[in-house]
Amino acid sequence: MKVAVFSAKPYDRKFLTAANIDHAHELVFLEARLTPETAALAGGFPAVCAFINDQLNQQTLGAIAASGTELIALRAAGFNNVDLQAASELNLTIVRVPEYSPYAVAEHAVGLILMLNRKLNKAYNRVRDDNFALDGLLGFDLHGSTVGVIGTGKIGQIFCQIMTGFGCHVLAYDPYPNPACLEMGVEYRTLPDLLATADIISLHCPLMPETYHLLDQQSLSHLKPGAMVINTSRGGLIDTKAVIKAIKTGQIGYLGIDVYEQEENLFFEDWSNTVVQDDDIQRLQSFNNVVITAHQAFFTREALTNIAKTTMISLTQFERGEACEYQIHQRQFGKA
């Protein structure tokens, strides 16, 4: 089947091409992001393969459906960038990769915690500069600290497991408690209780209308003063402007983010030769207790291999007219 692969980077080309050996689809790699303006590039392709910052809104979906696309294969787990209602009305099939490596994301969240706590970024630069002083690098033991996990699905569960291994007291909030987490001793609490109690809060829930700005000015005011906030899930879960204020007052003591509310026009590209116009990310970067990575939590060999394999399976199932195992059903998830 002819597939237009949007937002294709060299690593996408490498892993998708390797996984395609057993499937023999005709993959056409396009560097462009899929937006209403670039939708014409999908003309004549029955399938489109898209990534997280592709704009799968009503306008794009309408345009690609009109030019013959029937399947959208997301090489991601999250699908908050897809208008599921529009896709359903246009009879477009949407598939995703629900699980590729929960370890990749959970381990990255832990990496951010360690970096912020032990100030590894500063320590690395200091030593490179022959400055061997320790002032300003004081951290705290993770052992015995309280970690609050919001969302205990596949990634949250692994994160709980790792933090339990560190000897942390792990609390969680999730409308659907996970039996595996209960078994490892995780205590479920209400959201306000978790926010008020945890030294470290890590977000692992999806972005949906109900979770948009889950951490806003109001909820942030309940945090234990000086708490650490980690977000490897989706930028829209936190209100960036409210977070900036909370960092300035000291309500947030440390912030580690792999995702950013306005990442769509920034991440996955090199802007180092231009002046970035996004004032919020520039403000965040000015704080010495903030660490930002550019949506790389998923970026491991294992994850990319699994993403590519699952995507090929979906393309082949669709081409053969079989039920797509990884299809997103609008009735199941509502409007994302």
Q: Which is nearer to ligand NAI, 65 or 186 (CB)?
A: 186
Query: Is residue 148 within the footprint of ligand NAI (CB under 6 A)?
Result: no
- The residues facing 187 across adjacent strands are 171
Shortest-Cβ-distance residue relative to ligand NAI = 153
Q: Which is nearer to ligand NAI, 225 or 334 (CB)?
A: 334
Query: Is residue 190 within the footprint of ligand NAI (CB under 6 A)?
Result: no
- Of 118-126, 169-177, 319-327, 328-336, the window that binds ligand NAI (rule: CB under 6 A) is 169-177
How many whole angstroms separate alpha carbon 144 and alpha carbon 146? 7
The residue from 145, 295, 304, 314 that contacts ligand NAI (CB under 6 A) is 295
Q: Which is nearer to ligand NAI, 78 or 111 (CB)?
A: 78
- The contact mask relative to ligand NAI for 84-103 (x = CB under 6 A, - = no) is ------------------x-
Active site residue 234: yes
Query: Is residue 75 within the footprint of ligand NAI (CB under 6 A)?
Result: no
Nearest distance in Å: CB 262, ligand NAI? 16
- Of 33-41, 121-129, 174-182, 217-225, the window that binds ligand NAI (rule: CB under 6 A) is 174-182
Catalytic one of 234, 261, 322, 325: 234
Q: Which residue, among 60, 30, 65, 63, has the nearest Cα to 47 in the 3D structure?
A: 65
Q: Tokens for 121?
A: 């970024």
Catalytic one of 263, 301, 322, 329: 263
Active site residue 189: no
* CB-CB neighbours of 319 under 10 Å: 15
Query: Is residue 260 within the footprint of ligand NAI (CB under 6 A)?
Result: no
How many whole angstroms separate alpha carbon 61 and alpha carbon 72? 9
Q: Tokens for 69?
A: 């696309």
How many whole angstroms separate alpha carbon 1 and alpha carbon 318? 9
Check if the beta carbon of residue 68 is closer than 8 Å to that of residue 92.
Answer: no
How many whole angstroms separate alpha carbon 300 and alpha carbon 91? 34
Query: Is residue 232 within the footprint of ligand NAI (CB under 6 A)?
Result: yes
Active site residue 108: no
Instruction: Give exposure, 148-166, as e/b (b: 16+ Cβ within 10 Å).
Output: bbbbbbbbbbbbbbbbbeb
Query: Is residue 202 within the footprint of ligand NAI (CB under 6 A)?
Result: no
* Residues sharing a CB contact under 8 Å with residue 102, sequence separation 6 or more, in sequence order: 154, 155, 157, 158
The residue from 119, 154, 169, 309 that contacts ligand NAI (CB under 6 A) is 154
Catalytic residues: 234, 263, 295
